[in-house]
Structure 1
Amino acid sequence: MTRLRFLLGCLLLVAAATASEAAARSAQARIARVSTAVATLDGVRVRLDWPAQAREGVLSLQAARVEAPELGYRFHDLQWRCPLRRDGARWRCEGDVRAGRGRPLRLAIELDDARTAARLHDRRSAIRLRRDAATPELTRIELARVPLAWAQALLAQAWAAPRLSAGSVDGRLDVIAPSGADLRVEGPLRIDGAALDTPDGRVAAEGVGAAVELRARFGERATRVGVAGAVRGGELLFGNAYLALQRRRVAFALEAERDGEGPWRLPRLHWDDPGVLRVDGRAVLGADAGLRALDVGAAMPDLRALRDGYLSGFLGVAGLADLRLAGAAAARLRYDAGALHEFDLRLDGVAVDDPQGRFRVADLAGDVRFSSAESLRSELRWQGGELHGLDFGAARLPLLGERGELRLADEVAVPLLGGRARLAHMRLRPPADGRGLELNFGLDLERLDIARLAAALQWPPFAGELTGHIPQARYADDRLEFEGGLAVHLFGGAVQVSSLAMERPFGVAPTLSADIAFDDIDLQSLTGVLGFGSITGKLDGEVAGLRLVDWTPVAFDARLRTDRAAARRAGVRQRISQRAVQDLSSVSDASFMGSLQARLIGLFDDFGYARLGIGCRLAEQVCEMDGLGSAGPGFIIVAGAGLPRLSVIGFNRRVDWPTLLERLAAAGSGDVKPVFE
């Protein structure tokens, strides 16, 4: 069916050339080439058999090769056979026609001095053609339920990749082929149930309907195509952009032009989905249909509807498939040669809410303006929000766009957890020259309420204030790295976080990695917060190679130990309470050094100790336990001092990580049982 629809004009010329021989019993001709404005036939053989006194003859036509290069059609071994009749000055011939091994269609031709008419059809679809002698350059084609697959070769002239897999078209096309001028194709079309896809799966459509007006010009030097009308429903995919039009009617217009084999220029792009999205602009495409340049403006009066109709594909790739949006926005963008040259985003009453609790912003408004050629000031503001469970307050973000980047115009302080997060500097560089988006910033944390932080992160109920300094942070390639680390003053000591990085911070299964060092942490304050029995002293240690996936620890090597020198400098005695001994023994699956210790623990409130240390190397959900050193088959956790002397020894070096977490939770709640041997 696909291979015959543009050949009718060529066949008619051959039939007319042989019709004058109808009085003879038989006639045949071999023609090296037949050329028309639409196509060229090579290796043509025509035979007419007309028995004497018969009212009709049999016309047979064969062509070794048929080419319509402007329309992209090439056929081999074309055959048509039909009974030829004459009614006055009019000739009629109808029969099966096929090319190669293709399925035959029915071809009927009528011609006289005034006009030529033809009909190519099967049981469901039909193409009717008419040409009048008064206007020989015009061929009118009428389409009725014609499969879109018949237009595959014509589409390939503009874009070779898509495969038309479903849909039908009705309408009228005027094919205008003036002598020595470009071929033109014009007319209204109605498309139903269109479906297409590309081999790489990046472009696809399903169930699309449209009513359009086509204007196309095909020439040796240039091709011009214009389409305007309305799309009715369906689904479309362009890379990560997924459009769900449902039953909405969307007005659109597209103009495309190409000189020779050069790039496609799209001088007009128009898309109007009322109340959801209006886009106007222009673009340039490369030979692979990739975007080379884009200048476009968009109005988005309802972000909720925009999210459902246009953004779900992008959000799904970013791990934000359930993101909720509200408010309105408008944007303008100019992109060329792999770089962003101009960007202007305006927001009005925007609300962003991630149901998974990763972030939330309320009443986001203002604008973001960027230009590679001039300096532009803008400002964003919001009333509040939340980041991974951490509430933050209202703030204004003054911005300056210049020299190819967007910078923070002044320091910004954001209320956070009863304190402030101060954004000291920020620099955002848009994608350019094959390099992705890059963000750099510095952040100070001032007197954050640790109790509120702990509650948000579901930690034990810590108390106190957190102050930290991040001199430099960098986000690129979906990875956030903190250069210089994070210094936190906590429990009278210091916590130094280094090698801190996050992958997919706002995507699926965010991953955090870091090294943490503890110095002179006051044990009495720490154990009080953890709900353990009291331990006095100073704690040092480190957690190396910490790795969290979706905020759950999957690997680390932790070593914690007391610092006797620091305790002496601070005048702190090293004592451990009876409750703390019980908690340690329960958590570490430990026991006491002998039956005397088991009896003594019930007689004293606390004990002196010389050293305390414990380690855990987590891998594959198993914690390899360690302590201060070996004690026979076990390892020392608490080395006693003074009288009564009490030491705690651990014997199980491999502990299931979930079990260890349960023990820690039980120890914090006071629901523990000491182990005696």
Structure 2
Amino acid sequence: DAAGALTVRVRDLDPARMTAVLAPLAAWKPSGALDCDLRLAADGGAARAHCRLRAGGFATADGLQAGEQIDLTIDISAEAAAAGWRWRTVCEWSDGAIYVHPIYLPAGARLAATGELLDGRLEVAEAELAVDGVGSLRGSGVLGLEPLAVQRLEAAAPDLDLAMFGRRVLAPLLLPASADALDFQGRAAVRMHLADDRPPALEVRLREAGIEHQALNMGVGPATGTLDWPGDGTGALALRIDGAHWRGLKFGAFPVRAGLDEERVTLEPLAMPLFDGALRLEELELWQEDSGWRGAGRASIDAISLPELSAAAGMPVLGGTLAARFPRVRVAPGEIAVDGEIGIEVFDGRVRVSGLRLIEPLGVGAYARAELNAEHLDLGLLTDSFDFGSITGRVDVRVRELELAGWRPVRFAARIESSPGRYRRRISQRAVQSLGALGGPGVVNAIQRSALRFFDSFGYRRLGWSCVLEAGVCEMAGVEPDQPREDGGFVIVEGRGIPALDVVGYNRRVDWQVLLGRLSRVTGAGAPAVVQ
């Protein structure tokens, strides 16, 4: 120009043509239209560039990085200094979107930075990246050029909106296949420091932060607290969580404290209030392996009111309390297992569960297996919770090779029978009808056709029922599973006293879904149950 400056103007340059000069660009398959205005002062002491990419795009062969319809403007100016160049740049991304697996980022960001280019290094004195709806990141640092390496970095995001940052970044990182199911809330402040070859130092402050999985009806928060990682190989986590929920279960506020090192997270004992009791976790450690995060610890449930628990879970209201002990719980990617025997106190009896293993427990394809033994359960507490009728007495329960898919039984061998010992044994007429449904209909009519319709309850000697579920069919037996009656029936209740009453079923093989329907309606179709 008139001042002797060198001016270069470029219009509608296809970025793909630049691959002849910049060979590494070829793998990204760049596209779009590039306009640039470049100016170099006559004395070589100043330079300025203004470039704009219109409808830009790129894509790698594996499809894991891609961009489309990108509108990007870059302004750079530089002035010669005693030892190098002082520079300033502003970049604005106003349109389009970028996908870097698994994160999808829409346009709406601005970067402004100043610094110096010195012998062998690029110094950033001040930089700010502002992302629409998320917040801003401010920082400074030094980048070594020979070889290329970060020598120093200071960065701070004083006020991140976790609702937007979580949706765009955290959700796809945590659940790539179902990121839309996660919602976040709250704010966060983050600071990071990196110097030479030392480990990075990180400080995170959470304010009213929370996470929700809509599909699983599960959430945690709001939470307030800190994560400190000073860069010496150890750190600490301290949170105050105001609550959590899973389906109908709502936990009260609880603190979380943990020690961190380069290999594992060790949590201090914590208690999550649940109704009038608590879920307790102790000796819980988490560590990372090549396959993902793993963990182990002990758990217990303090005595919880069953009426509240069952109502919250959408079940018929049960009586009594529930307490449990889990001797050792192991967590692996997609799996939870319990070593040893789980002890549960419920219905004034004791339940022992062994071999418990859960596969993808929070997924749609959840699978579980276990063995179960229960002793001396109070039938009164159990039957009074349902529209079943009343039975007083005690029962033992054995369930072998229990398998559940999608939390529905698909295989087991179960037996329920009267517990040994002396105790009151009575069964109401309504309960007789309900038990008769296990073997088929006809109980109500049988009772109405006899004088027994004048009695509200009856004594019994013992009761017993078993079901072997395989391939959707329940194979049933009664109090004497190895001694069938001559007429092919099986006794579910063996009567005692006057009048003596036996409940006999004749349908030994019943479709499992049909049986569930009978139990829910206490009526059905098929061969009748006979009251004798």
Band the TM-score falls in, shorter-chain normalisation: 0.7 to 0.9
**Cα distance change of structure 1 residues 171 and 462 upon mapping to structure 2, 3 Å threshold:** same
Where do 4+ consecutive residues of structure 1 move more than 6 Å? 252-255, 265-270, 280-284, 333-336, 594-598, 671-674
Q: Identify the match of residue 64 of structure 2 among 169, 177, 202.
A: 202
Q: Identify the match of residue 205 of structure 2 among 346, 364, 377.
A: 346
- Provide Cα deviations, 1:367-407, integer angstroms capped at 9, x if missing partner: 12346734434410022221232111112122222463222
**2: distance between equivalents of 1:333 and 1:499?**
45
**Cα distance change of structure 1 residues 636 and 209 upon mapping to structure 2, 3 Å threshold:** same
Counterpart position of 1:146:
13
**1: distance between equivalents of 2:402 and 2:521?**
24
Q: Identify the match of residue 427 of structure 1 among 285, 310, 335.
A: 285
Check the 8 A contact 1:475/1:481 in 2, yes or no: yes
Check the 8 A contact 1:534/1:577 in 2, yes or no: yes
Equivalent residues in 2 for 1:35-50, closer than 5 Å: none
Counterpart position of 1:614:
466
**2: distance between equivalents of 1:317 and 1:466?**
37
Equivalent residues in 2 for 1:323-342, closer than 5 Å: 323-331=182-190
Equivalent residues in 2 for 1:5-404, closer than 5 Å: 142-154=9-21, 156-157=23-24, 161-164=27-30, 166-172=31-37, 187-213=49-75, 229-245=91-107, 248-251=108-111, 271-274=129-132, 276-279=134-137, 298-314=157-173, 316-317=175-176, 319-331=178-190, 343-356=202-215, 358-370=217-229, 373-402=232-261, 404=263
Larger Rg: 1
Counterpart residue identity of residue 356, structure 1: A
Q: Identify the match of residue 494 of structure 2 among 627, 640, 651.
A: 640
**2: distance between equivalents of 1:637 and 1:319?**
51
Q: Report the count of equivalent residues.
A: 489
Q: Give, in angstroms, the shift of residue 206 of structure 1.
A: 2.0
**2: distance between equivalents of 1:632 and 1:317?**
61
Structure 1 unaligned blocks of 5 or more: 1-129, 176-184, 216-225, 256-264, 285-293
Q: Secondary structure at the match of 1:454?
A: helix
TM-score normalised by L of structure 1: 0.62
Counterpart position of 1:582:
433
- 1:458 and 2:317 are equivalent in the alignment: no
**Cα distance change of structure 1 residues 513 and 145 upon mapping to structure 2, 3 Å threshold:** farther
Q: Give, in angstroms, the shift of residue 491 of structure 1.
A: 1.0
Counterpart position of 1:623:
473
**2: distance between equivalents of 1:189 and 1:648?**
89
Fraction of identical pairs, as percent: 23
Counterpart position of 2:518:
663
**Cα distance change of structure 1 residues 515 and 200 upon mapping to structure 2, 3 Å threshold:** farther
- 1:479 and 2:331 are equivalent in the alignment: no
Structure 2 unaligned blocks of 5 or more: 41-46, 78-87, 116-121, 144-152
**Cα distance change of structure 1 residues 306 and 300 upon mapping to structure 2, 3 Å threshold:** farther
Check the 8 A contact 2:167/2:180 in 1, yes or no: no
**1: distance between equivalents of 2:182 and 2:352?**
35
Counterpart position of 1:120:
none
Counterpart position of 2:270:
412
- Provide Cα deviations, 1:215-238, integer angstroms capped at 9, x if missing partner: 9xxxxxxxxxx9962222322111
**1: distance between equivalents of 2:359 and 2:300?**
22
- 1:556 and 2:411 are equivalent in the alignment: yes
**2: distance between equivalents of 1:588 and 1:254?**
83
**Cα distance change of structure 1 residues 553 and 344 upon mapping to structure 2, 3 Å threshold:** farther
TM-score normalised by L of structure 2: 0.77
**Cα distance change of structure 1 residues 516 and 296 upon mapping to structure 2, 3 Å threshold:** farther
Structure showing greater relative contact order (alpha-carbon pairs closer than 8 Å, 6 or more residues apart): 2
- Provide Cα deviations, 1:406-437, integer angstroms capped at 9, x if missing partner: 2224x3222112212222232232x46x3522
**1: distance between equivalents of 2:487 and 2:227?**
65
**Cα distance change of structure 1 residues 525 and 437 upon mapping to structure 2, 3 Å threshold:** same
Equivalent residues in 2 for 1:532-547, closer than 5 Å: 532-547=388-403
**2: distance between equivalents of 1:553 and 1:266?**
62
- Provide Cα deviations, 1:342-385, integer angstroms capped at 9, x if missing partner: 65432011233333353223431001234673443441002222
**2: distance between equivalents of 1:479 and 1:595?**
50
**2: distance between equivalents of 1:549 and 1:227?**
58
**2: distance between equivalents of 1:490 and 1:198?**
59
Counterpart residue identity of residue 270, structure 2: V
- Provide Cα deviations, 1:574-608, integer angstroms capped at 9, x if missing partner: 4433221211222442667x979963643542141
Check the 8 A contact 2:258/2:267 in 1, yes or no: yes
Counterpart residue identity of residue 463, structure 1: G
Q: Give, in angstroms, the shift of residue 210 of structure 1.
A: 0.7
**Cα distance change of structure 1 residues 390 and 618 upon mapping to structure 2, 3 Å threshold:** farther
Q: Identify the match of residue 518 of structure 1 among 368, 374, 381.
A: 374
**2: distance between equivalents of 1:675 and 1:241?**
62
Q: RMSD of the alignment, in Å?
A: 4.3
Counterpart residue identity of residue 309, structure 2: L
